């Protein structure tokens, strides 16, 4: 019996030693500040919290800051990335509210180079008659329903003159649930290897590729797409009641651009905008001629980089200006 317990103790100590070595290796060797899974995990831990409003799900932690994916990120006192906004709104100020997910938030992009930051820069060059402010209400992992609910619950606090709904190709996903507790709260190695095991499982067991996954989100019978349509309808009705214009902007997925494999998804989003009577901009034309990899944050992370955001902001500014929304 003593021999068995001694062997068991030795095995346990060895396993624990290997786990400690793995944790140290991931923290100080693998984690170079640009590993997608680890950076998204840090984002959730350092800048997010569970919202008191179930319809919103999660939200940014006010007055927080972190260094993520190579850039400094600051969250203001009301939970938006960037500067503070005066409430009530100052006289002679035109305020644009940008709704969306991590693409709107500007994952991996310096604040002034995000779509929101560049749009604000365009508007400031418009002349001295009015002050323009652009509020970045994008939050990573939001879907259409969460953005819609946030706007209806809190958006009018900012007294917007225009609301831009930045629709992402994954906005028909269901609302994410927080997976906390245990190793997921503190272990770098757990987060990193969970991501690697997921990749292996998809390859070995034939999981759907990215284009198939996104197309399936928009099948007519999926709960996420039905909820996205319903929530956008509620948002359109709400903005109309508040006499605030709402426009819908469709962001393409950046893996392939010409030909674009999610054209049927874009057609559904455009058809929804027509049913709701919303002005619509498809951003694919602004970037279709680009090499996809030139638009990514890193080879393993196809979020739009600063160059992609500059093309998107230029197109959005032109659309708003030419449509008389400014």
pLDDT interval class at 192 (50, 70, 90): confident
User: Which pLDDT band, with edges at 50, 70 and 90, does 7 fall under?
Assistant: low
| Dihedral angle over CA of 242, 48, 303, 298, nearest 10 | 160
Q: Evaluate if residue 2 carries a pLDDT over 70.
A: no
Lowest mean pLDDT among 6-15, 254-263, 267-276, 308-317: 6-15
Give just the sign of the alpha carbon dihedral 235, 238, 242, 245: positive
Question: Residue 178: its pLDDT value, please?
Answer: 66
At 4 the pLDDT is 61
Mean pLDDT across the chain, nearest whole number?
91
Rounded Cα distance between 163 and 185, Å, is 36
Reported as a single tens digit per residue, the pLDDT across 35-92 is: 999 999 999 999 999 999 999 999 999 999 999 999 999 999 999 999 999 989 999 9
pLDDT at 233 over 80: yes
The model's confidence at residue 204, banded by pLDDT at 50, 70 and 90, is: low
- 108-135 mean pLDDT: 90
Sign of CA dihedral 254, 260, 265, 266: positive
Please state the domain extents for the chain.
1-30, 33-322
Q: What predicted TM-score, i.e. pTM, was given to this entire model? A: 0.93
Residue of 135, 130, 127 lying closest to 159 (CA atoms): 135
Q: Which of 65-69, 181-185, 267-271, 305-309 has the lowest mean pLDDT?
A: 181-185
3-state secondary structure the chain: CHHHHHHHHHHHHHHHHHHHHHHHHHHHHHCCCCCHHHHHHHHHHHHEEECCCCCCCEEECCCCEEEECCEEEEECCCCCECCCCCCCCCCCEEEEEEEECHHHHCCCCCHHHCHHHHHHHHHHCCCCCCEEEEEEEECCCCCHHHHHHHHHHHHHHHCCCEEEEEECCCCCCCCCCCCCCCHHHHCHHHHHHHHHHHHHHHHHHCCCCHHHHHHHHCCCCCHHHHHHHHHHHHHHHHHHHCCCCEEEEECCCCCCCCCCCCHHHHHHHHHHHHHHCCCEEECHHHHCCCCHHHHEEECCEEEECHHHHHHHHHHHHHHHHHCCCC
Question: How much is the pLDDT for 202?
Answer: 65
**Average pLDDT for 202-212:** 71
Asked if residues 314 and 286 have their Cβ atoms less than 8 Å apart, the reply is yes
d(CA 55, CA 155): 14
Fold of 33-322: Rossmann fold (3.40.50)
């Amino acid at each position: 019996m003593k021999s068995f317990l001694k062997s068991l103790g030795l095995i346990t100590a060895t396993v624990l030693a290997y786990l400690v070595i793995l944790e140290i290796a991931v923290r100080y060797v693998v984690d170079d500040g640009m590993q997608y899974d680890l950076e998204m995990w840090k984002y959730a831990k350092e800048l997010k919290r569970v919202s008191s409003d179930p319809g919103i799900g999660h939200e940014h932690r006010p007055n927080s800051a972190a260094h993520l994916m190579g850039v400094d990120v600051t969250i203001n006192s009301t939970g938006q990335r960037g500067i503070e906004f005066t409430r009530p709104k100052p006289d002679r100020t035109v305020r644009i509210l940008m709704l969306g997910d991590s693409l709107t938030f500007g994952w991996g992009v310096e604040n002034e180079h995000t779509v929101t930051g560049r749009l604000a820069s365009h508007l400031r060059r418009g002349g001295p008659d009015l002050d323009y402010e652009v509020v970045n209400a994008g939050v990573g992992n939001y879907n259409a329903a969460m953005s819609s609910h946030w706007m209806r619950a809190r958006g009018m606090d900012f007294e917007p003159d225009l609301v831009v709904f930045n629709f992402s190709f994954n906005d028909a996903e269901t609302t994410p649930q927080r997976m906390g507790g245990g190793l997921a709260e503190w272990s770098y190695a757990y987060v990193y290897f969970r991501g690697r095991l997921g990749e292996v499982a998809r390859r070995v067991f034939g999981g759907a590729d990215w284009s198939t996954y996104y197309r399936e989100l928009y099948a007519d019978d999926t709960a996420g797409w039905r909820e996205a349509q319903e929530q956008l309808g509620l948002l359109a009705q709400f903005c109309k009641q508040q006499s605030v214009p709402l426009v819908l902007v469709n962001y393409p997925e950046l893996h392939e651009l010409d030909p674009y494999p999610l054209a049927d998804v874009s057609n559904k989003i455009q058809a929804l905008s027509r049913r709701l009577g919303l002005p619509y901009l498809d951003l694919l034309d602004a970037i279709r001629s680009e090499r996809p990899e030139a638009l990514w944050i890193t080879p393993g992370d196809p979020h739009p980089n600063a160059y992609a955001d500059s093309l998107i902001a230029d197109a959005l500014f032109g659309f708003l200006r030419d449509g008389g929304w400014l």
